Amino acid sequence: MLTLLQGVHQGNGFQDIPKKCQKAREHFGTVRTQMESLKTKFPADQYYRFHEHWRFVLQRLVFLAAFVVYLETETLVTREAAAEILGIEADRERGFHLDIEDYLSGVLTLASELARLAVNSVTAGDYSRPLRISTFINELDSGFRLLNLKNDSLRKRYDGLKYDVKKIEEVVYDLSIRGLNKEATGGAGFPTQHAYSWIFFPSLSPDLTGKS
């Protein structure tokens, strides 16, 4: 399934994104049947006893679901929708469910993937996508900044998010500096006539992250 979706990184992969998503969704059917059989393997109230066994695969699946949904609609998959795609429950009361931390981990993986996608879409000549990705990731970053994370694996992965944000901003910056973004102030936020001043004064190179 991941291999299938990796096709969007190919230069010519952008034309048939809907088709790839369709195929991926068919694969999720297999996932659902396997989830059903997993549910019968242990008592329903002991989910967390064996949580470690499927944590990682679940995070990976959430990422894939989120990726598909993003490619289709350019929005973030909700927790309920992600659970539904995997054929499991959204909250604990109803049996095998999607833990919130696993969901968030999957979403963080999506951010790294989109950072890659931004780079590759420029290579493929799609100059508008990075701007949309940038807006999306910035919103995601703000969302995560609302959370008070503990010092656990989720926090470590969240710490990686700022690099993805930075990466995408660099892409956007590169586009705007070359006047390749048609919407002059689309996501970069500074007018292009000033952009060239950096070339003459490299010491003033912008702090791209917007953070100190």
Partner 1 sequence: MSGKEGSGGFRKRKHDNFPHGQRREEKENVNPSSPLMTSFKSFQLELDTRHDKYERLVKLSRDITIESKRTIFLLHRYISAPNGEEVLNESEIKLDAVRRKIKQVAQELIGEDMYQFHRAISPGLQEYIEAVSFQYFIKTRSLISVEEINKQLIFTAEDREETTNVTSSSQDKQPHTWSLKVTPVDYLLGVADLTGELMRLCISSVGNGDIDTPFELSQFLRQIYDGFTFIGNTGPYEVSKKLYTLKQSLAKVENACYTLKVRGSEIPKHMLADVFSTKTELIDQEEGLS
> Per the annotation, where are the binding residues?
113
Residue 49 Cβ, how far from partner 1 at the closest point, in Å?
Answer: 4
Residue 211, Cβ density class (10 Å: 0-12 exposed, 13-18 middle, ≥19 buried): exposed
Question: Applying CB under 8 A, which of residues 147, 180, 182, 183 lies at the interface with partner 1?
Answer: 147
Q: Is 18 in the site for partner 1 (CB under 8 A)?
A: no
Burial zone of 165 (CB within 10 Å; 0-12 exposed, 13-18 middle, 19+ buried): buried
Q: How far apart are CA 196 and CA 192, in angstroms?
A: 7
Is 140 a binder of partner 1 (CB under 8 A)?
yes
In whole angstroms, give the CA distance from residue 74 to residue 7.
17
Contacts for 95 with CB less than 8 Å, ≥ 6 apart: 39, 44, 88, 89
Binding site for Mg(2+), by residue number, is 113
Measured between alpha carbons, how far is 183 from 186 in angstroms, rounded to an integer?
Answer: 5
**Closest separation between CB of residue 124 and partner 1, Å?**
26
Minimum gap (Å) between residue 172 Cβ and partner 1: 11
For residues 14 and 190, give the distance between their C-alpha atoms in angstroms, rounded to a whole number: 29
Listed ranges 1-9, 22-30, 43-51, 108-116: which one lies at the site for partner 1 (CB under 8 A): 43-51
Contacts of 177 (CB under 8 A, 6+ apart): 192, 195, 196, 198
The residue written with tokens 């100059």 in the block is 127
- Which one among 25, 138, 174, 177 touches partner 1, defined by CB under 8 A? 138
Please identify which residue in 35, 47, 54, 192 interacts with partner 1, judged by CB under 8 A: 47
List the one residue from 92, 116, 162, 166 that touches partner 1 (CB under 8 A).
92
Nearer to partner 1, 30 or 196 (CB): 196
Residue 54 lies near partner 1 (rule: CB under 8 A): no
- Footprint (CB under 8 A) of partner 1, residues 171-200: 187, 189-191, 194, 197
Of 108, 90, 98, nearest in space to 153 by CA: 108
Interface contacts to partner 1, rule CB under 8 A: 45-49, 51, 75-76, 78-79, 92, 100-101, 104, 138-140, 142-144, 146-150, 187, 189-191, 194, 197, 201, 203-204, 206-207, 210, 212
